[in-house]
Amino acid sequence: MLKVVAFSGILSNKQTLNPDFYKWNRIKVRYCDGASYTGDVEAVDPATNLHFRGARVFHAIIDNLLARGMKNAENAIISGCSAGGLTSILHCDRFRALLPPSTKVKCLADAGYFINAKDVSGASHIEEFYSQVVATHGSAKNLPTSCTSRLNPGLCFFPQNVVTQIQTPIFLLNAAYDSWQIKNILAPGVADPHGTWHSCKLDIEKCSPDQLKIMQAFRMEFLNALSGVGSSPSTGMFIDACYAHCQSETQETWLRDDSPELAKTTIAKAVGDWYYDMNPFQKIDCPYPCNPTCHNHILNPSEHPDV
C-alpha cells in the first residue's frame, strides 16, 4: 500500500476544488479484504494466514472513528469508488444505523454499480465469480436480508438486487460504459481467447462498429439494471456516457473547467446540491459518443497486461 495518497476531488480541502465538502473531516479507508467489507470467516487458512473478516474490519473502523469524534458529526457521507462504491451500497443502511439518529447521513457510490450481465461468449462469468467471492468470504450473513431471503447470496452482491431496499438516501455515480465492467464483465479474457477486444478495451476509440454495437447493448442492460432505483428525490443519479471508472476522487472529473457534465452540471455540483437538499439530481446521458465533456480512459497496455 502506498504510504502517501492524494486527497483530491471529493476529498480535497480546497474550496475552489471541492466547494461543498472542503471543510469536512475526510477519512480514506484502505481497501484490504477483497469483498467490499462483507467477509466473516472464523477459520484462518494455515497455508497463507489469510483472514476473510472484512465485515469485522468495517465495524472496527467505524467504532474507532466514532470514538475519535464522529459520534458528534452533524453530517456524514460514506463514499467510495469501484469496490468501495459497492461497499457504500451494501453498507449504506448499516453505516446509517451506526451513527447517531441526529446525524444527516447519505451514501455516495462511485463506479460501484456492477451489473449481472453475460459476457461476449454468452457465459455468466461475473455471476459465477461473485458467487465464489461470497462463498469464500462467508459474506451471506452480511448482505441485506431483504435480498438473501429471496435470492442466492451471490446474486445479492449485485446492486440491482439490493438497491431498491435501501432506506438511506443514496447517490449513484457511474459511467454507462464503465471501463472496469467492459473489461471484466462484458469482455473478460476468458471470453475473448484471441484478444479481439484487446485494443477496444484499452481505448474506446479503437473499438470496431460491431464492438460499439455490443457496448451500446451493454449500456441498455446497465440502464435496465438501474430501472428499479425509482425517482425519489432522496436518490441521486449521474450516469454519463463516458468510458471511465471512478470519477469522484480525481479532480479532473469531480470539478474542473473541463469536467464531465450532465445538463450543464458537474459531478461536484450534482452531489453537493443533492446532499444539502437544494436540488434533486437524476440524469442519464445520451449514448456514446454524444457527450463532448467526457474524460474517456485510455489505458496503458503495460499497466493492464490482462486486458
3-class secondary structure, 277: coil
Rounded Cα gap, residues 51 and 41, in angstroms: 7
Per-residue pLDDT at 305: 64
Mean predicted lDDT score pLDDT of the chain? 96
Q: What is the pLDDT of residues 287-298, one digit of tens each?
A: 999 999 999 999
Give strand pairing partners of 78.
107
Tell me if 21 is assigned to some domain: yes
Q: What is the pLDDT of residues 131-163, one digit of tens each?
A: 999 999 999 999 999 999 999 999 999 999 999
Q: What is the pLDDT of residues 49-85, one digit of tens each?
A: 999 999 999 999 999 999 999 999 999 999 999 999 9
Q: What is the pLDDT of residues 77-120, one digit of tens each?
A: 999 999 999 999 999 999 999 999 999 999 999 999 999 999 99
Domain count, the chain: 1
Tell me if 167 is assigned to some domain: yes
Rounded Cα gap, residues 69 and 85, in angstroms: 24
Tell me if 154 is assigned to some domain: yes
- Assess whether 82 carries a catalytic annotation: yes
Catalytic residue among 178, 192, 240, 285: 178
Identity at 244, one-letter amino acid code: A
Rounded Cα gap, residues 33 and 91, in angstroms: 14
- Assess whether 125 carries a catalytic annotation: no
Tell me if 182 is assigned to some domain: no
Dihedral sign from CA coordinates of 158, 163, 169, 172: positive
Tell me if 196 is assigned to some domain: no
Rounded Cα gap, residues 150 and 160, in angstroms: 14
Average of pLDDT values for 234-242? 98
Per-residue pLDDT at 306: 66
Give strand pairing partners of 174.
239
Rounded Cα gap, residues 161 and 168, in angstroms: 16
Tell me if 1 is assigned to some domain: no
Tell me if 203 is assigned to some domain: no
Tell me if 118 is assigned to some domain: no
- Domain hosting 150: range is 9-112+130-175+221-284
Rounded Cα gap, residues 99 and 215, in angstroms: 41
Catalytic residue among 91, 125, 137, 245: 245
Q: Are strands 265-266 and 261-262 parallel, antiparallel or unpaired?
A: antiparallel
Catalytic residue among 8, 36, 79, 82: 82
3-class secondary structure, 132: helix
- Assess whether 245 carries a catalytic annotation: yes
Residue 200 CA, distance from chain mean position: 22
Per-residue pLDDT at 246: 97
